[in-house]
Amino acid sequence: MKILITNDDGIKAPGIHTLAQIASNYGEVYIVAPHTNNSAVGHGITMRRPLKSYPDSIKGATLAIGVDGTPADCVKYALAHLKINPDLILSGINDERNVGTDVLYSGTVSGAIEANLCGYPAMAISTTNSNFDIVKSYFPAIFEKLLSQTLLTDTTININFPSLEEPKGIKVATVGISRYDECYVEEQGGHRLSGPLIDIDQPEETDVKSIKNGYITITPLKFKLYDDDKIFELSKLF
């Protein structure tokens, strides 16, 4: 099996090195990831300047290249320019969880969604507080179960791990809401977005609630931009 890996923390981040070592037990690993940290860039792509690439070396990987672009750029670059034709694309391991509406901002999740949009099965893997040990312990079994299913073909699987040494279990979860008490703090002559997460009441089956309660969460993500109900309502007007 040929596995392509990207991330948003950058090619030097420990998470992608951990994922490469895990994935190398299942096939040939190719890494194309941002040359520098691209956290929270969402699904942006680079159109107005050329991308530059930088050869790298990562244990467990047949090829490792850093690209001065976003995670979505890296997936496109790997497929369209480097002509890598993987059986599966992984994005991660992100050093913080990507649950709730944070998936809209996450470069890690966007890299996996881009892979799925290009027709490849994909998974995004994130942990909490850089807890990579829990991923080493529990991801292989999850990975093997998911590989045996055909549901990967048109869905992005978003997997998140809690900060606990021993999770309470695994929950297939819906997407919750991530809301922050946002503010801008002065930094280096400008202002940087900051603010703590607000603990809002939401259903137990959401990824936000489940991971807070100590569970590994698995959420199938589908890229759909329209509202079925509003389509019906608008069609009656026009």
Phi, psi for residue 100 in degrees, rounded to 5: 60, -155
Phi, psi for residue 158 in degrees, rounded to 5: -105, 115
Phi, psi for residue 219 in degrees, rounded to 5: -130, 120
111: tokens are 């890299």
Residues 6+ apart with CB under 8 A from 122: 88, 89, 90, 91, 112, 113, 115, 116, 152, 156, 157
pLDDT of residue 150: 66
Any idea what the Cα angle at residue 86 is, between residues 92 and 61, rounded to 5°? 60
pLDDT of residue 151: 63
Residues of the chain with pLDDT under 70: 150-151
pLDDT of residue 225: 81
Which one, of 224, 209, 140, lies nearest residue 178 by Cα? 209
**Domains defined along the chain, listed by start:** 2-176+203-237 (3.40.1210.10)
Phi, psi for residue 172 in degrees, rounded to 5: -80, 120
183: tokens are 């503010």
Q: Is 33 exposed, middle or buried (0-12, 13-18, 19+ CB in 10 A)?
A: buried
| Nearest-angstrom CA–CA distance, 192 and 172 | 34
| Nearest-angstrom CA–CA distance, 98 and 102 | 6
pLDDT of residue 229: 87
Task: Express each pLDDT in 72-126 by its tens digit.
Answer: 999 999 999 999 999 999 999 999 999 999 999 999 999 999 999 999 999 999 9
| Nearest-angstrom CA–CA distance, 99 and 169 | 17
The residues pairing with 126 across neighbouring beta strands, listed in sequence order, are 94, 160
